[in-house]
Amino acid sequence: MRPDQWQLFKAAAKRQTRGGPIPLALIVDCPWIPPYCGVSLWDYFFDVDTWFRANVQVQRDFPDVIWFPSWWSEVGMGAEPSALGPRLRFNRHRVPDVEHLPFPLEQLDELTLPDPRTDGFMALCLYRYERLRTRIADEGFTIPVVAARGPLTIASFFRGVTDLMTDIVDAPERALKILSLATDVSIGWLKAQAEVIGGSVEGILILDDISGFIGRKHYQQFAHPFLKRMCDSFPSDWVKVFHNDANVTACIDLIPDAGFDVLNWGLDLSMTKACEKVGGRMALMGNVPPLDLGARGTPDQNYAAAMKAMQDAGEHPLILSWAGATTTGISADNVRALVRAARDFNAKK
């Protein structure tokens, strides 16, 4: 994103623009960018020039969209878990798979914390930033946000989703130990990115859909303390964004207390209900259906859904977006429909 776009997003996230224009920001990464730009996934991941050109193209083709987090250096879901032992399998025609591998749990205390600068594919992602940060700035763009998977998501790749859910019920001490390790991995990864990028970083994006798989009681014990630890590890004036497009019904009212400024959520809660539960304590980022409308709908349908989302939000702090990330198959015309909706709605305010 451009520096002026970051200032717009930041002001909306910190709820400093009540009654002002609603920005349009879309989370975007490898499932959408390479197909849109006509490049292979392998080139996108392994060739820094291809990655650079593709990200420039997306931002040039849609100058009115705040692409978020902007210049996201990632390898699908695999950067963080690849340093803990799971296998990352690359595919030429779809995003990488992260394969859980058995781990002797009696040796859990011997598992050392990985170094993002040298371990797994985090090192590759940092290399992109090292090589390209000057070129990114020279093109007129900034890198204001660093991103990481959240504790439960990282732990689920290490332990396996089913086994992690079982641990939460039957072996809570083990689950807490794994989640604490995963939290430290995520914090270390965010800090390593910020260090390599430099002073432009003023925000974090945490992605943790797995925290939407558990009920309120388990969220309070196995998710909230670790998410709060992550937020507390960074300056209070930084923008802190939480993505969880699983079902956040049980915990949405608790998420602001973890320290987040923005929630990008899914479709289990309507805009009206989400606003009611959050009560203005953080900005909401949503909630046009990315699959049913973004990928399968028409521009007119996406325009209407975007207008309805902004109308339903009323005076609640809002950043217009998909109810989740920019998923595979979303057309350029449907992205432009959201641009038109934001422009037309803001023109009437």
14: left (phi over 0), alpha (psi -120 to 50) or beta: alpha
CB 90 within 8 A of CB 34: no
The dihedrals phi and psi of 123, each to the nearest 5 degrees, come to: -65, -40
Strand order in the sheet with 262-265: 145-149, 203-207, 239-244, 262-265, 283-288, 318-322
Strands (E), 211-296: 239-244, 262-265, 283-288
What is the mean predicted confidence (pLDDT) over 265-291?
97
CB 317 within 8 A of CB 284: yes
- Distance CA(178)–CA(130), nearest Å, equals 31
Q: How many residues can be counted in the chain?
A: 349
Q: Is 208 helix (H, G, I), strand (E, B) or coil?
A: coil
DSSP codes joined into one string, 85-139:
S-EEE--SSSPPEEE-----GGGGGGPPPP-TTTSTTHHHHHHHHHHHHHHHHHT
Angle between helices 172-197 and 151-159 (to 10 degrees): 120
Reduced to 3 states (helix: H, G, I; strand: E, B; else coil), residue 25 is strand
What confidence score (pLDDT) does residue 349 get? 73
Q: What is the CB neighbour count within 10 angstroms for residue 348? A: 5
- For the stretch 221-239, what's the b/e string if a residue is b when 16 or more beta carbons lie within 10 angstroms of its beta carbon? ebbbebbbbbbebbeeebb
Q: Which of 102-106, 174-178, 342-346 has the lowest mean pLDDT?
A: 102-106
| pLDDT band, very low/low/confident/very high, at 144 (cuts 50, 70, 90) | very high
What confidence tens digit (pLDDT) does each residue in 205-215 have?
999 999 999 99
pLDDT at 19: 74
- Domain spans of the chain? 3-347
Digit-coded pLDDT (tens) for 44-88: 999 999 999 999 999 999 999 999 999 999 999 999 999 999 999
Checking 168-175 for CB contacts under 8 A at 24+ apart, the result is: 168/214, 168/218, 168/222, 172/221, 172/222, 174/105, 174/108, 175/222
- Residues pairing with 288 in the sheet: 322
Q: Which pLDDT does position 131 carry in this prediction?
A: 97
Banded model confidence at residue 92, pLDDT cuts 50, 70, 90: confident
Does the structural domain 3-347 have CATH classification 3.40.50.2000? Answer: no
Q: Enter the tokens of residue 20.
A: 């002002």
Q: Is 322 helix (H, G, I), strand (E, B) or coil?
A: strand
